[in-house]
Amino acid sequence: MRLLILLMILAILASLASAMFYLLKDGGHSKRTVWALTLRVGVSIGLFMLLWLGYALGILQPSGPPVG
């Protein structure tokens, strides 16, 4: 599960970097930047759903200082 989460975070960062590259290379005249950012949003939503599902099923446990 941790490996999948890490891979998704790396995919988000790679998509963001490619969007910046396309924006600088094409000067905003191409749709490649929009597609890269759309992919980033889709993977981010998928990561959120994966984290939520892992927490709901008890696979992932919150950690940190106790509250209260």
Q: 18-42 burial by CB neighbour count: b if 16+ within 10 A, else e?
A: bbeebbeeeeeeeeebeebbebbee
pLDDT, position 24:
94
Where do the structural domains in the chain lie, given as residue ranges?
Answer: 2-56
pLDDT, position 29:
82
Q: Is the pTM of this model over 0.85?
A: no
pLDDT means per 10 residues, the chain with 68 residues, are: 94 96 88 94 97 94 80
The position carrying tokens 């600088």 is: 24
